Amino acid sequence: LFYFTSFCQDAPPEAALMPGETVVREGRAAILFPNANEVFYNPVQEFNRDLTCAVITEFARETLAQKGVRVVVPGERERVVVCVSENKESTDGQVVKDEEEDGLASISVGEQCQQGLRILEGLAASGLRSVRFALEVPGIRSITANDFSARAASLIARNANFNKVSHLLQASQRDASMLMYESRGRKERYDVIDLDPYGSPSPFLDAAVQAVGDGGLLCITCTDMAVMAGNSGETCYSKYGSVSIKAKFCHEMALRIILHSLDQRAAVYQRYIEPLLSVSVDFYIRVFIKVHTGQATVKNSASKQALVYNCIGCGTFHLQRMGKRTNQGKSMKYSAATGPPVQENCQHCGQKHQLGGPIWAEQLHDVPFVQKVLSAVSSNPTRFGTSKRIEGVLSMVTEELQDVPLYYTLDHLSSTVHCNTPSMLQFRSALLHAGHRVSLSHACKNAVKTDAPSRVMWDLVRCWEKINPVKRERLSETSPAFHILSTEPLLQACFDLREDANPQSRRRHLTRFQENPQANWGPKARAKAGGGLSSGLEDRRKRFQNKRKLQITDSAQLKNFPCKKFRKGTCTHGEECCFSHELEQPGTEEKVD
């Protein structure tokens, strides 16, 4: 599926452009850039912005309905709430009729609603996201598009005028954290706060959980996936209060790490979170959560978090809850959790465990809410350029087992014992025959999310190996494969295909795991505050490829590399320095959307 910018017939004419300016169009928005050579636009993030518009629209629909206001989206037909069931051949649907909203005042896109949402985009850059909110999301009272850069704030104001949304959108030049801290009062809080930083959002989370209203919506993006996926567990702990580990379930664990961090910060202020939608796509993760206030509910926070014991040999994992709660009639008793859930060595392969977390161990999504967003997108497929992908991802989200944290991957299970890999349908069928539930995960193509205990998982692998035997004599006696295959299975697996093993999203051939439509499909380099862009990622890769392996003997080639001491202001060689003093001087970087 290819999608880039989408042309908008209602966008302002380009006749109003100043000399040298250029326009980038996405959705209904047309964004100005002062110079064609300074355009920083990443089509990968179009899915992010489309999904955000869809979620905020549904949030506005629910919020304003309580105030007697009905939002109207152009092109939206009668909606069918999609209810996916693994036990049925077809998808169930419940028609949401407009008669239920008779008598409500209507508000359309572009109209200011005095009872509507107050939205803050803390790191707005060019203002593309905020302009799209103003043009595509109904039920808005005001939008504050903030950026610390004076140049960015000026560009935001210019784009607001260019798109004729100045009555809804105001530009702001403030430190994002200070702006949110000053909005902690109940009357000043925002209904929606969107944070999409370049890198980690951790510096802004404490202010965000205070500045959003009771029942308000937080939309958070994390692009520091190397840290959250286990490459630097100590850095992850310093930013999010959780240790990430390298494991096959790292992308879902990243979602649970950011949710843990948000819930922990909110609990300080007697607040708690309610995840609406949490997705891991492309090179980033995106979470949509509601924030509520309630001292009694905050007491449940410890029992919602868990440590992760992950075997370094076979990848078997176990969760250890941080707290325990017991229902005693009308009251709840809270106590310390007991553990650990594992022995010193793994019971399957004899290897050690690594400890990660704490992570959020509750549901990642509010399935009824996701079904409403899905039905709205499906009934209006021309609204977004990435509607097909949104439909595919959200369909998978509704199919996931909500009460089962983390997952195994089928290729890792088979590679651990060095046997060939069964098909996904065969393995899912075997789990269903054994009486367990199973689902895929939107975060990984080969994921097996199941409530079956680890003993059952390895019994299925042992049964498959008996059908497709490996050469035991080649296995080391200390290897995980030798230990696992030395144990006879207690379960007799049946790999006969079952019809309900094939999920609805796969039967309908939805766009579930999109292939990259072009080379270098991912994040872009930071932009420069002084104008222009940093060196392209592709140029950087070529310049620094094999830098450590191939020692440079020609001193003239060293001019292709920046001087680290010059960046710090400590280089004393001047023009005689063998390294370059011209590439990406320090202190000139900022995030541009």
Answer yes or no: is pLDDT of 489 > 50: yes
Average pLDDT over residues 565-573: 84
Q: Is 587 a residue whose pLDDT tops 70?
A: no
pLDDT surpassing 50 at residue 524: yes
Percent of the chain with pLDDT over 70: 83
| pLDDT bucket at 88, cuts 50 / 70 / 90 | very low
376 lies in some domain: no
Asked whether residue 360 is domain-assigned, the answer is no
SS3 content of the chain, % helix, strand, coil (to 5): 35, 25, 40
Q: How confident is the model at residue 277 (pLDDT cuts 50, 70, 90)?
A: very high
In the prediction, which pLDDT does 89 show? 45
Residue 541 lies in a domain: yes
- Containing domain of residue 545, as a range? 528-590
Angle between helices 250-267 and 233-240 (to 10 degrees): 30
- Domain boundary among the residues 493, 519, 543 is at 493
* pLDDT over 50 (residue 525): yes
- Whether residues 423 and 484 share a domain: the answer is yes
Write down the pLDDT at residue 586.
40
Is 227:235 a contact under the CB 8 Å cutoff? yes
Tell me whether residue 428 is in a domain: yes
> Rounded mean pLDDT of 524-543?
57
Predicted local confidence at residue 384, as pLDDT = 95
This prediction has a pTM of 0.85
Quick one: pLDDT band at residue 585, thresholds 50, 70, 90? very low
Residues 6+ apart with CB under 8 A from 536: 524, 525
Concatenated DSSP letters of 428-439:
HHHHHHTT--EE
Structural tokens at position 588: 């000139």
Residues 433 and 483 in one domain: yes
Same domain, 486 and 431: yes
Q: What is the pLDDT of residue 564?
A: 84
Task: Please tell me the predicted confidence (pLDDT) of residue 536.
Answer: 56
Asked if residue 527 has pLDDT above 80, the reply is no
Statement to judge: residues 538 and 476 lie in one domain: no
Q: Is residue 461 part of a domain?
A: yes
Does 335 have pLDDT greater than 70? yes
Predicted local distance difference test score (pLDDT) of residue 559: 79
Indicate if the pLDDT at residue 289 is higher than 70: yes
Question: Could you tell me if residue 213 is inside a domain?
Answer: no
CA angle 247–253–256, rounded 5-degree value: 170
**Residue whose C-alpha is closest to residue 523's, from 512, 531, 534:** 534
* Least confident stretch, 137-141, 344-348, 449-453, 576-580: 576-580
Whether residue 211 has pLDDT greater than 80: yes
Q: Is residue 548 part of a domain?
A: yes
Tell me the C-alpha distance between 214 and 294, whole Å.
10
Boundary residue ending a domain (448, 478, 493): 493
One domain for residues 486 and 417: yes
Instruction: Give the whole-number percent of the chain exceeding pLDDT 90.
Output: 69
Q: Which of 28-37, 118-127, 171-180, 378-387 has the lowest mean pLDDT?
A: 28-37
pLDDT at 518: 64
Please name the residues in contact with 553: beta carbons below 8 A apart, sequence gap of 6 or more.
none
> What b/e string do you get for 559-574 counting C-beta neighbours within 10 Å, with b at 16 or more?
eeebbeebeeeeeeee
**CA–CA separation, 50 and 6 (whole Å):** 12
Q: How many domains does the chain have?
A: 2
Comparison of pLDDT for 327 and 413, the residue scoring more:
413
528 or 170, which is more confident? 170
Q: In this model, does residue 588 exceed pLDDT 70?
A: no
Q: Which residues pair with 209 in a beta bridge?
A: none
Comparing 351 with 533, the larger pLDDT belongs to: 351
Q: Which segment of 265-274, 434-443, 553-562 scores lowest on mean pLDDT?
A: 553-562
Q: Which residue has the higher pLDDT, 164 or 97?
A: 164
Q: Give the model confidence (pLDDT) of 92-147 as tens digits.
A: 555 554 444 556 788 999 999 999 999 999 999 889 999 999 999 999 999 999 99
Q: Return mean pLDDT, the chain.
A: 87
Q: Domain for residue 445, yes or no?
A: yes
- As a whole number, mean pLDDT of residues 70-89 equals 64
Sign of torsion, CA 290 294 296 302? positive
Residue that terminates a domain, selected from 493, 518, 552: 493
Query: DSSP class of residue 476?
Result: -
